């Protein structure tokens, strides 16, 4: 069954305390060279078939429930 992926990320200008915490842990683990970390969410939606109307509906779902457009951006893609 096809799968549609919705990625939700905090907008670039919004503070991401979780990403900062992850970033702060890296040097303690001996990893260097990572200049920033942003943490988001990934949703996997199983669908019967992928067509234009399904993707339009998923975009609406992403905008109304999966993300908060005030603080987050989303991207919809079909899982290959």
Give CB contacts under 8 A, 24+ apart, made by 43-48.
43/5, 43/6, 43/7, 43/8, 44/3, 44/4, 44/5, 44/79, 45/3, 45/4, 45/5, 45/6, 46/1, 46/2, 46/3, 47/1, 47/2, 47/3, 47/4, 48/1, 48/2
23 binds another protein (CB under 8 A): no
From 25-33, 52-60, 61-69, give the range in contact with another protein by CB under 8 A.
61-69
From 17-25, 28-36, 46-54, 55-63, give the range in contact with another protein by CB under 8 A.
17-25
36 binds another protein (CB under 8 A): no
68 binds another protein (CB under 8 A): yes
């Amino acid at each position: 069954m096809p799968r549609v992926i919705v990625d939700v990320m905090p907008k670039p200008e919004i503070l991401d305390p979780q990403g900062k915490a992850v970033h702060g842990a890296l040097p303690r683990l001996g990893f260097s060279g990572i200049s920033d970390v942003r943490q988001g969410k990934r949703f996997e939606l199983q669908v019967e078939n992928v067509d234009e109307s399904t993707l339009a509906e998923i975009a609406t779902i992403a905008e109304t429930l999966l993300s908060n457009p005030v603080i987050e951006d989303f991207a919809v893609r079909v899982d290959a």
